[in-house]
Structure 1
């Protein structure tokens, strides 16, 4: 594989040389030795005819399963603008030696080793070092910044800050997401012991066991547990993710963002994992990478950028409108709170009401398929990001034997939902283990619902017959809701995206006790 890749690299570089602007920069393919002698395949771009330097350095670790060609176009543009750029394939993949260690110590240390090499072999400035990556490269970049104070600025795109919260959200495994990672890793790399153990469990369908076996190690691969180091260094951190990211959903990044004390910026937009910024990595016009360029120009070159706030949030709606906020507290300010009413009727449906509705209960069966769904990892989110087509469900076809449904009033005027909705509900399961899936829809007059957001939640080892009051924060979202539509909340016990612990032939009873009224809080504007 490595010899084939080197041949491809030579052809790409020759073609690239023919089309680039002569004199702007030099580019070479290098084998960069890491701290332990493992060689990393790297594209190295050095400004030429732009002065003697030193130049700010940007190191770009590649995504899971992708080679250093991933950032070809963006590296080109950065070098033309006076940056030394080293884009390298992550350890264990393609033309880089070693084994995949799932963002272990060696993979993180590789970033520092590449910086050492660049400072020794290029006119890179030791006082102006940035790191940027997508997905695996983003998570690695954050971890490296926490451990290497030379890194002054980070742009982490479609990444994670908390690996457990990403892959095991509320004790629920995204089997589609884990399957995608395992399959692509096996095809394009050389798994280390940890990934090999995960692969073996996934091969026999044990997604739950695969993730649970890795969970004790997740904290050491999560920048959320090293935020104090980042704050002490004052690292400037830009985070960008998609609302419908099927691998690293946005809420775990929001929590991380709120704990950062240095310069920071959070961008959340439409799409799925890496779909928003990958075209920009290839050099196409891209709003995410325009922000990255501004971020590095400001924090590595010292350019004063008008309107760049020290702490700011931008949410982009499904309709493409940017919404700017001072911080996440402002995003979540003054939500609309609905009480959950008693489901009634031949097709039982509760009302989302003003004020609390208590003293009722409603039972459904477990593991009963319904029409509610979060969609397919990557596919559904990509359709939403590129074609503005969210996951659609006919609410009248949602089987009430296996789902509880609440509908709000028709909106008298157009509203925008921006932020993270929150659900409090009391459930009494008949089994020790139960997975619940909460969906929030915008529904038209014919009952067709556009999925706005969702969230899984699993109960494990609880006492059957004992009430459990749950606090479920749905994933952050931003969507316009036209006048005449209504919000609809659906909760069921199965979703094809996830490995549910729900078993058939049981029941779960929803209720709203006076001591803890069931409510839905929605950030409506």
Structure 2
């Protein structure tokens, strides 16, 4: 296995650099085509002031308050509280806050504890962060013309997670807009029992650059990225405590109207975990998926440009805080935007997205060596899927050139008609390892006539405690997507053992054999939407 500390140093530098490059690109990205057009802002400017709000234990939270013009003499207004994203300063939402204030909302945005000038340490959605959100609501109701019966929360990424956790613990929160967030933190960065190395390194590196990680967080990150399996139960318990799905009963009982929005290629909080979380919600709810990587689908909105995600978030609050009959609750609640066509598709629920499926048999036996990147990989965190979003350039690999010594490759027949992949592809196979531990990564490619494959989806899988030489079954869900495969193209499944996105657990010299027993055939199931 590779030196995990060397891996941590390289992935931290690479991931942070990629995030900075991707962030710089956002300002040049074309604005998304909105659904309903945004209403013009009011002529009078909203009032903006910067304040200190005492959070949990008296910790100072730096905040800004944006109120409608003339609010001091106009009664009460619905209020929206916006916790900042990971590593972002308190002015992150100022453009959207002004638009919301112009539409008649009191908006309070605050810097999450431990970051920038706010006090305390970074707790990653821990009890202190949940208590902070309630303290901010307390302060807002006491110091602004806010209506206590019409409180909403929203945020991007870290702000989304805190908003969901707060809604589970504070009954005053009536509506939530959770953009690029998480429902299950463990399933987000430890899916397939595999550490998402670049995601973890990016979060850790950005936290150290812009804030003060708590001792607990530093220990968890060290154990996580250093593959300290002796601490696995502790790490999982830490993440479970910070997952909104853990408090699902409270969230459903409180009944807040919840909008979830995410990107298909989110390399920090993959779409699968959000879809599963959405299906378990029982109150008013809406799920939106768009092309892009982490937080890229709403990035232009943070600059004040037209943006679908923010437009629908405001429509959501207009409906569930103001009570406006604007039709958003009459639309199909699952709204998907294809990576290929750019058009929106509506579904009654998540399970209807991939209502039909096609199985590709993975016949024969294939043995590969580990510890070498075959050339098939999922790209770079925060960057590769942003390129797919804006330039239609996903990660690619040449099927003929992939070394079969290090990659197992299966291809379907050419399709006579276009295939609309929608939802979650699932791999079922039998693996025999020469070692008790190992990691494999599965990739689904759209392969053109010249053999060049465009990445449709991928996912990692790690195993421990297997008996060397004894076959065992593997069932793996690839990350959900919406992608159109052109007529005349093939689908290919590729499996290798090294990907820069993930920590690998392959001992030196290990080999993996993939087989398809007659009693338990191997296959990949492709979810399709009928033409």
TM-score, normalization: structure 2? 0.88
What is the match of residue 277 of structure 2? 256
CA–CA distance in structure 2, aligned partners of residues 311 and 113 of structure 1: 35
Corresponding position: 1:79 with 2:89: no
Corresponding position: 1:229 with 2:233: no
- Bigger relative contact order, structure 1 or 2 (CA pairs below 8 A, ≥6 apart): 2
Work out which of the residue numbers 57, 82, 87 in structure 2 matches 1:36: 57
Alpha carbons of structure 1 residues 208 and 323: separation in structure 2 relative to 1, 3 Å: farther
Give the 3-state SS of the residue equivalent to 2:136 in structure 1. helix
In terms of mean alpha carbon deviation, does 442-451 or 500-509 score higher? 500-509
Deviations 1:71-113, CA, capped at 9 Å, x for gaps: 1110010000000000110001012111111211001111111
Q: CA deviation at 1:201?
A: 5.4
What is the match of residue 358 of structure 1? none
In terms of mean alpha carbon deviation, does 211-220 or 233-242 score higher? 211-220
Corresponding position: 1:433 with 2:455: no
What is the match of residue 265 of structure 2? 244
What is the match of residue 421 of structure 2? 417
Give the 3-state SS of the residue equivalent to 1:178 in structure 2. helix
Deviations 1:285-335, CA, capped at 9 Å, x for gaps: 111111101111111011112253476111111131212111011112121
Q: Is the 8 A contact 1:57 1:130 kept in 2?
A: yes
Corresponding position: 1:206 with 2:210: no
In terms of mean alpha carbon deviation, does 115-124 or 229-238 score higher? 229-238
CA–CA distance in structure 1, aligned partners of residues 154 and 455 of structure 2: 32
Alpha carbons of structure 1 residues 239 and 127: separation in structure 2 relative to 1, 3 Å: same
CA–CA distance in structure 2, aligned partners of residues 199 and 433 of structure 1: 22
Deviations 1:94-139, CA, capped at 9 Å, x for gaps: 1211111121100111111100000001111111111001111111
Corresponding position: 1:96 with 2:100: no
What is the match of residue 277 of structure 1? 298
Q: CA deviation at 1:27?
A: 1.2
Corresponding position: 1:336 with 2:340: no
In terms of mean alpha carbon deviation, does 214-223 or 510-519 score higher? 510-519
CA–CA distance in structure 2, aligned partners of residues 457 and 116 of structure 1: 44
CA–CA distance in structure 2, aligned partners of residues 330 and 436 of structure 1: 29
Work out which of the residue numbers 467, 488, 491 in structure 1 matches 2:492: 488
Corresponding position: 1:368 with 2:391: no
| C-alpha RMSD over aligned residues | 1.8
Correspondence list, 1:55-204, <5 A: 55-198=77-220, 200=222
Deviations 1:155-183, CA, capped at 9 Å, x for gaps: 11111111111111111011111111111
Q: Is the 8 A contact 1:208 1:499 kept in 2?
A: no
Q: Is the 8 A contact 2:332 2:347 kept in 1?
A: no
In terms of mean alpha carbon deviation, does 95-104 or 364-373 score higher? 364-373
Give the 3-state SS of the residue equivalent to 1:85 in structure 2. strand
Alpha carbons of structure 1 residues 278 and 407: separation in structure 2 relative to 1, 3 Å: same
Q: CA deviation at 1:338?
A: 2.2
CA–CA distance in structure 1, aligned partners of residues 212 and 359 of structure 2: 50
Alpha carbons of structure 1 residues 88 and 209: separation in structure 2 relative to 1, 3 Å: farther
In terms of mean alpha carbon deviation, does 178-187 or 42-51 score higher? 42-51
Give the 3-state SS of the residue equivalent to 1:304 in structure 2. coil
What is the match of residue 288 of structure 1? 309
In terms of mean alpha carbon deviation, does 508-517 or 428-437 score higher? 508-517
In terms of mean alpha carbon deviation, does 509-518 or 168-177 score higher? 509-518
Corresponding position: 1:380 with 2:352: no
Work out which of the residue numbers 466, 470, 474 in structure 2 matches 1:462: 466
Work out which of the residue numbers 393, 396, 399 in structure 1 matches 2:397: 393
Q: Is the 8 A contact 2:160 2:180 kept in 1?
A: yes
Corresponding position: 1:471 with 2:491: no
Q: Is the 8 A contact 1:315 1:418 kept in 2?
A: no
CA–CA distance in structure 1, aligned partners of residues 253 and 331 of structure 2: 16
CA–CA distance in structure 1, aligned partners of residues 404 and 145 of structure 2: 66
What is the match of residue 329 of structure 2? 308
Aligned pair count? 486
What is the match of residue 520 of structure 1? 524
Alpha carbons of structure 1 residues 146 and 271: separation in structure 2 relative to 1, 3 Å: same
Q: Is the 8 A contact 1:173 1:211 kept in 2?
A: no
